[in-house]
């Protein structure tokens, strides 16, 4: 029996990880620690919130003293750290929150783990969840491997790169038993509709313009969120201390091609004439420092730990569109109020 702390469990990826762990490991206590920012939503976890091995702790990882108290009280023996500010556009508008949560918050967790585990690392694990964006931008060819030098360009990716370095430093300097994974772009149910796929689904629903940055030629490598959660389960249990694992779907899409696919699926599901949603596409000012292409080589994870993605992309997109159309109350709830102000501000001058 373990006491596993999952940070950011009320967010998009975190909620899928919490669900998987609570259901799959009834013998383990799962503690979901989350500040409940705009991106955290306990409604994501309604189906597991009453299970006896699920516990929710409302806390801010930037508050180091509180984090220490929680480690003392609950004696976590492992951490799966997902809590972060995660949206590139917000990091351009307000870098400081990213520095605080992604860097200082991570160090607070490392310090607490080090403090409470220092006499006994046996059975302990600090698993840091990161992104492929730390590797920077690719040209037309090549892929990111675990040894690609870091070259982040946005405040978001720079803050995640910094946290990755600190996690490695705590391993190398203090022997903290850490493991890190860097994953490509996720999509699927419960993603906050500021990221490309849910934003465009929501805009099509409201017949609003679809703001394509630049020429729509940037390339991203998309992975279904449940496959990421499965990879996290495998790496948490079988990954080797001090190692990094890249996670990705070998599924590269140029933004504009992905958007056209989504438009076609939405037209079909909504019973629209072909081309209805595509007519909403609007080219807008490019994102500052916009990385051209991400593509991840996940062969180490496949070879060493046996993980492979389970879903084809077209199937994943259909499942995703179905989920958002069947959960329009969720979308309406998270897009009301302060989100509306964010949207108006973010897209006003594009």
Using CA atoms, how far apart are residues 123 and 137, in angstroms rounded to an integer? 37
Using CA atoms, how far apart are residues 259 and 248, in angstroms rounded to an integer? 20
Q: Does 88 help bind ligand TYD (rule: CB under 6 A)?
A: yes
Q: Does 212 help bind ligand TYD (rule: CB under 6 A)?
A: yes
What b-and-e string marks burial along 159-170, b requiring 16 or more CB atoms within 10 Å of the CB? bbbbbbebbbeb
Q: Does 220 help bind ligand NAD (rule: CB under 6 A)?
A: no
The minimum distance between CB 153 and ligand TYD, in angstroms, equals 11
- Using DSSP's 3-state secondary structure scheme, residue 211 falls into strand
Q: Does 220 help bind ligand TYD (rule: CB under 6 A)?
A: yes
Residue 138 φ/ψ region, left for φ over 0, alpha for ψ in the -120 to 50 degree band, beta for the rest: beta
Taking CB under 6 A as the criterion, the residue among 4, 5, 6, 10 binding ligand NAD is: 10
Site mask for ligand NAD (CB under 6 A), range 274-313, x = bound: ----------------------------------------
Whether residue 156 lies in the annotated active site: yes
Whether residue 329 lies in the annotated active site: no
Q: Which of 190, 224, 179, 183 is nearest to 15 (CA)?
A: 190
Whether residue 120 lies in the annotated active site: no
Binding partner at 88 among ligand NAD, ligand TYD, none, C-beta below 5 to 8 Å by kind: ligand TYD
The residue range among 46-54, 77-85, 199-207, 260-268 that interacts with ligand NAD, by the rule CB under 6 A, is 77-85
Binding partner at 211 among ligand NAD, ligand TYD, none, C-beta below 5 to 8 Å by kind: ligand TYD
Using CA atoms, how far apart are residues 268 and 260, in angstroms rounded to an integer? 12
**Cβ atoms 181, 244 nearer than 8 A:** yes
Report DSSP state, residue 296: B
Q: Using CB under 6 A, list all residues that contact ligand NAD.
A: 8, 10-14, 34-37, 39-40, 60-62, 82-86, 101, 105, 129, 131, 160, 183, 185-186, 192
Catalytic machinery residues: 132-133, 156
């Amino acid at each position: 029996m373990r006491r596993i702390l999952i940070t950011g469990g009320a967010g998009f990826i975190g909620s899928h990880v919490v669900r998987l762990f609570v259901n799959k490991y009834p013998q383990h206590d799962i503690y979901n620690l989350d500040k409940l920012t705009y991106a955290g939503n306990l409604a994501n976890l309604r189906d597991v919130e009453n299970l006896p091995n699920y516990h929710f702790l409302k806390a801010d990882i930037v508050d180091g003293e509180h984090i220490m108290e929680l480690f003392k009280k609950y004696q976590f023996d492992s951490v799966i750290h997902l809590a972060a500010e995660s949206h590139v556009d917000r990091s351009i508008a307000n870098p400081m929150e990213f520095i605080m949560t992604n860097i200082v918050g991570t160090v607070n967790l490392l310090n607490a783990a080090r403090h409470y585990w220092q006499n006994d690392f046996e059975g302990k694990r600090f698993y840091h969840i990161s992104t492929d964006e730390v590797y920077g931008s690719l040209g037309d060819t090549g892929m990111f491997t675990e040894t690609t030098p870091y070259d982040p360009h946005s405040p978001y990716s720079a803050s995640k790169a910094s946290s990755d370095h600190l996690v490695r430093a705590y391993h190398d300097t203090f022997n903290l038993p850490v493991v890190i994974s860097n994953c490509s772009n996720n999509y699927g149910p419960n993603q906050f509709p500021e990221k490309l796929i849910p934003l465009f689904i929501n805009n099509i629903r409201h017949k609003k313009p679809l703001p394509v940055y630049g020429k729509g030629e940037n390339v991203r490598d998309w992975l279904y969120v449940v496959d990421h959660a499965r990879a996290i389960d495998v790496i948490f249990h079988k990954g080797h201390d001090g190692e990094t694992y890249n996670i990705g779907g070998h599924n590269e899409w140029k933004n504009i091609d992905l958007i056209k696919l989504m438009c076609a699926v939405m037209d079909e599901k909504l019973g629209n004439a072909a081309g209805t949603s595509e007519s909403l596409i609007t080219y807008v000012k490019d994102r500052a420092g916009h990385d051209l292409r991400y593509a991840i080589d996940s062969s180490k994870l496949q070879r060493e730990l046996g993980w492979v993605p389970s879903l084809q992309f077209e199937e994943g997109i259909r499942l995703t569109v179905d989920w958002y159309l069947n959960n329009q109350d969720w979308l309406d709830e998270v897009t009301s109020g302060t989100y509306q102000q964010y949207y108006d501000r973010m897209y006003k001058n594009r």
